[in-house]
Structure 1
Amino acid sequence: MNATLFFLILRARQRIVLTAFLVTVLATAAVSFILPKTYTATSSVVLNFKGIDPLTGLTMPGQLLPGYMATQVDIISSRNVALRVVDALKLAQSPAVLAEFNASTGGRGDVRDWLAELLLKKLDIAPSRESSVIDITFKGSDPQFVAAVANAFADEYQRVAIQLKVDPLKRASAYFNDQIKTLRDNVEAAQSRLSKYQQEHGIVSVDNRLDVETNRLNDLSAQLVAAQGQRMEASSRQNMALGASGSESPDVLTNPLIQNLKANLSQSEAKLAEMAQRLSPNHPQYQSAAAETEKLRNELKAQLRLVANSVGNNATVLSQREGAIRAALEAQKTKVLELNRTRDELSVLARDVDNAQRAFDTTSQRFSQTRVEGQAEQSDIAVLNPAKPPIEPSNPKIALNIALSVVLGAMLGIGFAVLAEVFDRRVRGEVDLVDTLDIPVFGAIDWKDTPARSVNGLQALLRPRRARLT
């Protein structure tokens, strides 16, 4: 089928085309005027989240998640928000609504749930693609009612968002309050153990006392080293004084009395040797000189013994002093070790107090912060554009429906014309003769012209046509 044949068919079936077109347009117009008018009201809310909590200054990653906007849409369209809207508008208290509910459900169920379901069916939530604005749209037959419902959904959504944020904080605040009491008791118990330990051991300042005792221990160690050196020196001098070479002892050599006795003994021995050459041993002078020499020798031995005893006594004293210093050193060492143990135990108790105090301070700070957050009913949601009662209905759109009916009517008319042509095939032109009879066409007669025309006109009627051979 070519375009010429198509237009010939439409021309021949123009009644069908016009009838289908007019019926479609008129029916659409009638239905559009008959259908009840539907009004649409939209309330826009904006989510003013910046990712930072205004109270704590901390980042709130929950609001930065990709599903945050979808979560807010689910909250708006939840049954909880719808029930709040029903209560806010007092819809369940209307006698007309109660009568309609009884007629629709037979009195079964809750009228609030029934109204919430009806509201949610006519509610449309549309979040913006690249912004934080959400449009809350409600449709109905009353312009004032649809605007009130859209605004009520926006308001109740704000309240529910605040409640969802505040309720967990209130529960957390109660938990922290209980924990603070326990932690306060722990701090008091740890402080009491520390104080009791200090009183039992008489501790005022462990570090200062430990420094003093440590210095004393160091002094005793130095004294012990010095006493050991003195005792070793005294022992050596004692051994030398009591030995065969006692006369060479420093104590003997530095003793003037012994040196004087030695000089006198040498003179007496020299005098005795001289008398021995002149006198016989029985001579009174010789015996007197011998007695004096022996006396001097005995006095020298006595003085040597006294020096040796003196050195020995000195060594004994130094040894006793070394023992006393050693005993004092051991006692001081035990005392320092005891102070170290006391300091360690005191440090453990003090650390327990610090840990308990730190836990109490941290919990108190978190409790104060949580309590402030739980009492701050601030919302991140604000109404950007409240809904206004619409002036013009959103449905039915008469102009759009008629425009669509014109297109649809034209398509239906063409369709019906083609369908009628299929069931009632007619010859519309030379192409139909060639296709149907399978014979060539040599000419066509225009039956609309009159036979009274001139010869030229008659020749024009018999216009030759190019034959179509098959």
Structure 2
Amino acid sequence: MNLPSLPPTPARTDVADPAAFQPIGFQLSDEHKLELLEHWRSIKKRKWPILSLAGVAAVVAAAVSLAMTPIYQATAMVQIESGPGKLVSIQDIYSAGAQVKEHYQTQVEILKSREVAERTVRALKLWEHPEYDPRVKGAGLLDGLKEALGMGTEPAKDEADLAAAATKRLMENVSIEPVRLSQLAKVNVESADPALAARLANALAENYILNDREARFKVSQQASGFLQDRLGDLRTALSKSEQALQDYRQSKGIVSLDGSAQTLAGQQVGGTNAQLVEARSRRLQLESAYQQVQAAPKGDFSGVPWVAREAGVALAQGRVNEVLQRQAQLSETQGAKSPLLLQVQAELESAKATLRSQQAAAADALTREYQAARATEQSLERALGAARSGVAEVNKEEFQLAVLEREVQSNRELYNMFVSRAKETDIAGEVQAAIARVVDTAVAPSKPVRPKKLQLVAVALVLSLLLASLVSVLLDKLDNTLKGGDDAELRLRLPMLTVLPSLQAHDHAAMAQLFIHEPNSAHAEAIRTARTGVLLSNIDQPHKSLLVTSTIPGEGKTTVSINLALAHAQTRRTLLIDADMRRPQVARRLDLAPGLKGLSNLVAGDATLQECLHTVADTTLLVMPVGDLPPNPLELLLSERFKAVLAQLTEQFEIVVIDSPPVELVSEALVLAPLATSTILVAKAMSTPTPMVRKSITRLQRAGAKMLGVVLNQLDMSKAGSYHSQYQADYGYNYAGAGYAAKDAAVDPGRS
């Protein structure tokens, strides 16, 4: 049929918009299970190398353990006292204020010290033993390597060097192990000689105790010398202070030290002060009466109470009052001229004169008494001042005396204390309690502590198994290719249409027609499975166009296209189109004559449909090869005429299988995918990296392709559990102008 005037067909509107990559609903737990299964398969497939490596490691470990010198460990048990041992209390000399825990930890560290180790070495002359003699060169591999590299130790020159070298080696072989919740410590010594190990453990414990005793004795001697030096100075100071006290007593005439002088002076001041108060009170009383006497007019002292209270004045006043009474009585009975009355008047005048005389005498006596009281007060004031001055002087002397006495007392107490401490130190230096004691002496061990041969072999075996298993898993983790149907479905999130076995013994032409030549083979059965998957997709659609592509060349997409088309041709009217216009392979694989008209000729209008369709021998399959190779295949596929031709071919055939170029090298597959009903991606098992396949699927889906599923090709069934394939980065293709050509002549040009 000629299609010279084939109208352009509008673009298909039933093609879905490009959709994002969607998973098909696998659960994460299933993926984890599959990963664990993959790990197990990875280990299982290399079980013999892993077991061989483990066996070799165990044998090497056994040989090494047998070659190693057995090391014995002897243990001596030491009990450490809770505090520094002492016979008498001299805490100021031995710092006994530390807590028990700190003291215990301190003693454990002393047990580890170099001083104790060196003391043991010198006591036993340990450098004479071959194990500790630095002049004996080691026979080990490490020692030989150090000697070869010039890193060996310098030979010992004298006994000090020998002792230092032996001490260093002994400290490396000694370990102190505190016993939890007790005051015990284990002294562990390792040696190739069991008897020597026990001897060293006991010697270390004994030398630790002796070293402590000597150290404390040395401290005691130093303290005793210090105390003796200080005693001489204190004795001199005490003598000087006592002499100064005695000189002061003599200079001041002090006889007693009980403070009697100060007491007498105080009593004297107190008595004088009391007399002064009394004299002052008396003077004040007399001073008031004296002022009244001085104020009396013309010697009339009748108005002065003090004068009136005088005995003579009171007696004279009584005589005057008696005479006045008699005068009054006589005046009533006698006349004014009566001699009795005149006599009474004369007596009255005499009594008044006596009264006045007594009053004047009393006033004179008051004046004299006042002056005497005043003089007494002044005298007492002077005496009190003198007494006070005496008391101050006594106080000064007593204070100075007290200072001298305190200095003497202080010097005497300090001297007595140092004498007592010196005696205690001398006694403590002669008798010292032990800081520790050996509870359990070490005995020669009968079994070595290392090497632990069985443990060493078991550890080597387990570690080698683990290491080899990890390496196996790591190798498979680094291998990101597709290793089987389940793995491909899980990683690509697309249905697996079929898995085709590897056919190493067939050439490309035989593989292309294997479905015809070997219909009962596993390969043919797998093709039938893929055919069933295609037929079940879009089951209500009578006409289907199927695009078959791959990620990169060499994955077998052409072989799959041909075999799938041959399978469909048995039940459907099927057309196989070779759309790979850069490296066409369909005609060659099907043994068609070269130079046949094909797709490019039909689209360009240079040939009719009948001229472009060719039948495969012994089949009903119609094939449309590429035809003449166009210079611009992409433009040809993008033309509206190609879309119209493809749409018309799809209407005339029930199944149209299109073999397209790879996705990652050229873009023709992305142009063809939206025009096809379904797209099948062919991936080579254990070869193509999974990320690259995922990228191809994503590009196809974004271009509008309806992904039907994946065909996993060339899976080595005999090694399905052993993934040894490696990805080859160079597939023999490169870009050259508008097409991709063979990069190496050695690469088979018939493989696509």
**In structure 1, how many angstroms separate the alpha carbons of the residues matched to 2:39 and 2:287?**
147
**In structure 2, how many angstroms separate the alpha carbons of the residues matched to 1:228 and 1:168?**
76
Contact 2:77 2:438 in 1 (8 A): yes
Q: Which residue of 1 aligns with 2:269?
A: 217
Q: Residue 71 of structure 1: CA displacement?
A: 4.0
Query: Residues 274-423 of structure 1 correspond to what in structure 2 (within 5 A)?
Result: 314-315=369-370, 317-361=372-416, 363=418, 374-404=429-459
Q: Residue 368 of structure 1: CA displacement?
A: 5.4
Contact 1:17 1:416 in 2 (8 A): no
**In structure 2, how many angstroms separate the alpha carbons of the residues matched to 1:79 and 1:323?**
93
Query: Residues 35-434 of structure 1 correspond to what in structure 2 (within 5 A)?
Result: 35-49=68-82, 55-56=88-89, 60-64=96-100, 71-92=106-127, 94=128, 101=135, 105-108=154-157, 110=160, 111-128=162-179, 130-199=181-250, 200-205=252-257, 207-231=259-283, 244-245=298-299, 248=302, 254-255=311-312, 314-315=369-370, 317-361=372-416, 363=418, 374-404=429-459
Q: Residue 310 of structure 1: CA displacement?
A: 6.0
Query: What amino acid maps onto 2:115 in structure 1?
Result: N
Q: Residue 220 of structure 1: CA displacement?
A: 1.7
Q: Residue 391 of structure 1: CA displacement?
A: 1.5
**In structure 1, how many angstroms separate the alpha carbons of the residues matched to 2:196 and 2:62?**
27
Distance 1:86 1:330, change over 3 A: same
**In structure 2, how many angstroms separate the alpha carbons of the residues matched to 1:413 and 1:225?**
121
Contact 1:81 1:160 in 2 (8 A): yes
With 313-322 and 150-159 compared, the bigger mean Cα shift is at 313-322
Q: Residue 372 of structure 1: CA displacement?
A: 5.4
Q: Residue 325 of structure 1: CA displacement?
A: 3.0
**In structure 1, how many angstroms separate the alpha carbons of the residues matched to 2:471 and 2:268?**
124
Query: What amino acid maps onto 1:218 in structure 2?
Result: G
Give a deviation string over 1:267-296, Cα, whole Å, max 9, x none. xxxxxxxxxx9xxxxxxxxxxxxxxxxxxx
Q: Residue 437 of structure 1: CA displacement?
A: 0.7
Distance 1:135 1:97, change over 3 A: closer
SS in 2 for 1:187: helix
SS in 2 for 1:101: coil
Distance 1:394 1:311, change over 3 A: closer
**In structure 1, how many angstroms separate the alpha carbons of the residues matched to 2:382 and 2:43?**
135
Query: What amino acid maps onto 2:177 in structure 1?
Result: A
Contact 2:70 2:451 in 1 (8 A): yes
SS in 1 for 2:119: helix
Q: Residue 386 of structure 1: CA displacement?
A: 2.0
Distance 1:126 1:205, change over 3 A: closer
Contact 2:61 2:460 in 1 (8 A): yes
Q: Which is bigger in relative contact order (C-alpha 8 A, separation at least 6)? A: 1
Q: Whose strand proportion is higher, 1 or 2?
A: 2
- RMSD of aligned Cα (Å): 5.2
Contact 2:272 2:383 in 1 (8 A): yes
Distance 1:183 1:9, change over 3 A: closer
**In structure 2, how many angstroms separate the alpha carbons of the residues matched to 1:416 and 1:201?**
110
Query: What amino acid maps onto 2:436 in structure 1?
Result: I
When the two structures are superposed, what TM-score results if normalisation uses the length of structure 1? 0.64
Q: Residue 335 of structure 1: CA displacement?
A: 1.7
Query: What amino acid maps onto 1:175 in structure 2?
Result: F
Q: Which residue of 1 aligns with 2:502?
A: 437
**In structure 2, how many angstroms separate the alpha carbons of the residues matched to 1:312 and 1:91?**
120
**In structure 2, how many angstroms separate the alpha carbons of the residues matched to 1:466 and 1:60?**
97
Give a deviation string over 1:315-360, Cα, whole Å, max 9, x none. 5554444443333222222222222222322233333334434444
Aligned length: 401
Over alpha carbons, which structure has the higher Rg?
A: 2
Query: What amino acid maps onto 2:194 in structure 1?
Result: P
Q: Residue 147 of structure 1: CA displacement?
A: 0.7
Contact 2:53 2:465 in 1 (8 A): no
Contact 2:234 2:415 in 1 (8 A): yes
**In structure 1, how many angstroms separate the alpha carbons of the residues matched to 2:290 and 2:53?**
155
SS in 2 for 1:138: strand
With 326-335 and 25-34 compared, the bigger mean Cα shift is at 25-34
Contact 1:190 1:349 in 2 (8 A): yes
When the two structures are superposed, what TM-score results if normalisation uses the length of structure 2? 0.43
**In structure 1, how many angstroms separate the alpha carbons of the residues matched to 2:39 and 2:387?**
127
Give a deviation string over 1:186-217, Cα, whole Å, max 9, x none. 33333333333233232414533333332332
Distance 1:388 1:219, change over 3 A: same
Query: What amino acid maps onto 2:123 in structure 1?
Result: A
Q: Residue 55 of structure 1: CA displacement?
A: 4.8
**In structure 2, how many angstroms separate the alpha carbons of the residues matched to 1:69 and 1:46?**
10
SS in 2 for 1:62: coil
Query: What amino acid maps onto 1:194 in structure 2?
Result: L
Unaligned runs of 5+ in 1: 267-276, 278-296, 419-430, 440-461
Distance 1:409 1:299, change over 3 A: closer
Distance 1:413 1:351, change over 3 A: closer
Q: Residue 245 of structure 1: CA displacement?
A: 2.0
Contact 1:84 1:156 in 2 (8 A): yes
**In structure 2, how many angstroms separate the alpha carbons of the residues matched to 1:326 and 1:301?**
38
Distance 1:5 1:32, change over 3 A: closer
SS in 2 for 1:223: helix
**In structure 2, how many angstroms separate the alpha carbons of the residues matched to 1:304 and 1:410?**
148
Q: Residue 367 of structure 1: CA displacement?
A: 5.0
Contact 1:240 1:246 in 2 (8 A): no
With 78-87 and 356-365 compared, the bigger mean Cα shift is at 356-365
**In structure 2, how many angstroms separate the alpha carbons of the residues matched to 1:136 and 1:164?**
21
SS in 2 for 1:190: helix
Q: Residue 41 of structure 1: CA displacement?
A: 0.9
**In structure 1, how many angstroms separate the alpha carbons of the residues matched to 2:392 and 2:470?**
113
**In structure 2, how many angstroms separate the alpha carbons of the residues matched to 1:5 and 1:314?**
143
**In structure 1, how many angstroms separate the alpha carbons of the residues matched to 2:500 and 2:170?**
64
Contact 2:85 2:433 in 1 (8 A): no
**In structure 1, how many angstroms separate the alpha carbons of the residues matched to 2:471 and 2:64?**
22
Q: Which residue of 2 aligns with 1:446?
A: none
Contact 1:85 1:153 in 2 (8 A): yes
Contact 1:41 1:147 in 2 (8 A): yes
**In structure 2, how many angstroms separate the alpha carbons of the residues matched to 1:98 and 1:410?**
39
SS in 2 for 1:159: helix
Unaligned runs of 5+ in 2: 1-37, 138-152, 324-336, 338-351, 474-485, 487-498, 505-519, 530-711, 713-752
